[in-house]
Amino acid sequence: MSTIVAGIGASHSTLMNTHWDEVAEDPGALRFRAGLEAARDVLAEARPDTVIIIGSNHFRGMFLDLMPAFTVGVGEVIGAGEADTPKGRLPADTALARTLVDTLSEDFDPAFSLRMQVDHGITHSYQHLVPGLDVPIVPVVVNMFAPPLPSLRRCDALGAAIGRAVREDGQDKRVAVIASGGLSHRLPWPKWYRALSDDDRFLVEAWLEGRDSWQEYEVRRRQIIRAAESDINPDFDARFLAALEKGDLSEFLGLSADDVDRVAGNGAQEIRSWVAMAAAVGPAEGVTHAYAAVPQWLTGMAVASIRPLT
């Protein structure tokens, strides 16, 4: 059987790639970058044969014409390449991916893709955490932005099922699990069914029509995001990270999507990836490598790792 050797949770921000000069002297941003390096060392030390990356898609690979709750890349994995993130075909563990889909289908209804385009919701972690950028990955994309969202309890169950699938796959692989996204932040994104302003309507059009032309929407889309005011809740982030360090996120599982939005922002829906990662790893203890509220990136930026107890 294969073994899960480590779990990593990391916030993502493409602005770290494209606008680093704006925060190059900011202590929080520097802490976050150092935290990524520390987590990268943890991953290198764990020597994974494969990395499962659980993350979101920001309407560059998944669109409102078809929005599954959970999608596993079982064939080609193609980086969208936006904002200096990896572009083109990425190494993929298709055998483990198929095993995940087969196992998850017993209790879930996962979608799968033979040609999955992933954006920074997957590739930011791959770019900054995976040693050598040559370890094959299995992307698991969770719908975190187009309501209705899968509940946090459902994501916890998904993670537990991923863990079982790895441990019962009949192989002898060392597998790491990365959660990409969060923590608290608010994006200037409307609900798709309540587009009120011109910017709202533009974004919903991009989310619906962008399957073959998402790049055409990027300039204005980036301008909208860059113009937004930050809305970060460090207290929520601290509670979440403390619970992760103890290996017990149960206090958060009862939160509804509306609860998360109200307390920590619509971008904090990405804690679903952290919940699923922790459940996949199982009983664990962890360490927070870095946390900083970085208003220039709109986000509570965190990096943490957990190690299984057994």
Contact between 84 and 123 under an 8 Å Cβ cutoff? The reply is no
- DSSP string across 80-98: E-GGG--EEEE-B-HHHHH
What is the rounded distance in angstroms from the CA atom of residue 138 to the CA atom of residue 92? 6
Question: Taking each helix axis from N to C terminus, what angle separates 120-129 and 27-46, rounded to the nearest 10 degrees?
Answer: 70
CA distances (Å), origin 310, targets 123, 284, 305: 29, 8, 16
Rg (CA), the chain: 18
Buried/exposed 102-136: b ≥16 CB within 10 Å, e otherwise: ebbeeebebbbbeebbbbbbbbbbbbbbbeeeebb
Contact between 77 and 71 under an 8 Å Cβ cutoff? The reply is no
What is the rounded distance in angstroms from the CA atom of residue 193 to the CA atom of residue 209? 15
Residue 124 a catalytic site member: no
Residue 185 a catalytic site member: yes
Which residue out of 120, 124, 128, 289 is catalytically annotated?
120
What is the rounded distance in angstroms from the CA atom of residue 136 to the CA atom of residue 91? 5
Other C-beta atoms lying within 10 Å of the C-beta of residue 298: 24
Strands 299-308 and 284-294 turn out to be antiparallel
Which residue out of 12, 58, 124, 185 is catalytically annotated?
185
What is the rounded distance in angstroms from the CA atom of residue 155 to the CA atom of residue 305? 19
The token duo for 76 is: 């080609």
Q: List residues with catalytic annotation.
A: 120, 185
